[in-house]
Amino acid sequence: MSVTLQDVANAAGVSVSVASRSLNGRAREYRISEATEKTVKKTAAKLGFRPSQVARSLRLKRSGLVGVVVPDLSNPFFASIAREVTLATEHDGYSVIVADSRETTANEEKLIEQLLGRQIEALVVCPVGRQHEHLTAIDASGLPVVLVDRGFAKSKLVQVTSDHRCGAQRATELLLEHGHRSIGVLQGLPGTLPNDQRIEGLRDALAKHDLQLDSSMIAGHSFSEHSGYESAKQLLSMHPNITAFFAFSTPNALGALRVISEKGLRVPNDLSIVTFDDIPFADFMNVPLTTIAQDVPALGRTAAELIIQQLRSGKRPRTKKHSMNVQLVNRDSICEAGR
């Protein structure tokens, strides 16, 4: 015989409504104490209670689902953001559906339509980052939408991003301090906020040294290993005097490292390299990478908190744009130019 919600309530010594709200992630909303919530959850687990998601959705007129769309799940940065959002929203009783847009707006729009068909209650998107009209329309319909990482400068959507410009400036200044003047730039997806702000940060740092940005020293079409590989080959062919690379993502850097190895060169003795995104294995490579670390846990948690806040209050946050600090992690991939 299956265990019912009434059985859980009786065993925990609470009413059915308290048991239901504790298990549905609505304890705080109804001022149920954390101790009571924990007791109910432990009792439910002990009894093997499994609520019917369909019945609960019909009863509460809510699905308990949050959609998360990222551009590339093979990129550890985006996978980590999806994980952080999942952990934070699950803590409040929501289930998460994660989808990969494969870096195209068409796929992004298609996936979002599919998620809307699943009756999601909110949407977290790391957008491809070139168009936002479809996202603005969804937000205007009343569904909570939060953008992560790739926001839009002129959009009124709620967005959580890193200080890309500051990070790029610090990375460039570090290379300049080591005497590098011929710096190859392995960019990500042009036209996106992170990419364009990193270009601006690069330009800021060069200007402080009375240097101008040479557009022929910039190559790349995505934040992928393939783009990093092809771009590094192209730049070294065009500018054999390059002494350092600034990669706009760790996958870009990995592609460049392959080119450097194929040419029989060494990092940092022959070529220095600095990259954005401090993904877990950056510290465990043959030459640990110097990086600009984004606070991925903070990005994911903040996005989730903004979603939960909207779901509880039914109101949009007053502050639409949230910027997370970045940190320079200095390791072993940079040395003095010409050493």
Element (H, E) at 274: strand 272-276
What does the alpha-carbon distance between residue 241 and residue 244 come to, in Å, rounded to a whole number? 9
Residue pLDDT, tens place only, 170-183: 999 999 999 999 99
Q: Model-level pTM?
A: 0.79
Calculate the alpha carbon distances from 198 to 117, 122, 195, 320 in Å: 36, 30, 5, 21
Residue pLDDT, tens place only, 64-87: 899 999 999 998 899 999 999 999
pLDDT at 198: 98
How does DSSP assign 178-203, residue by residue? TT--SEEEE--STTSHHHHHHHHHHH
Contacts of 79 (CB under 8 A, 6+ apart): 70, 73
Tabulate helix, strand, coil % of the chain (nearest 5): 45, 15, 40
Token pair listed for 334: 């940079």
Helix axes 193-208, 164-177, angle to 10 degrees: 40
Is the Cα torsion angle 281, 85, 146, 31 positive or negative in sign? Answer: negative
pLDDT, averaged per 10 consecutive residues of the chain (339 residues), comes to 82 89 81 91 84 52 87 92 94 92 94 90 91 88 93 90 97 98 97 95 97 97 96 98 97 96 96 89 82 95 95 88 95 89
Q: What is the side-by-side strand order in the sheet with 326-329?
A: 218-219, 183-186, 244-247, 272-276, 290-294, 326-329
**Domains of the chain and CATH, by start:** 5-51 (1.10.260), 61-161+295-324 (3.40.50.2300), 164-294 (3.40.50.2300)
Contact 235, 263 (CB under 8 A): no
How many residues can be counted in the chain?
339
pLDDT at 306: 96
What does the alpha-carbon distance between residue 112 and residue 146 come to, in Å, rounded to a whole number? 13
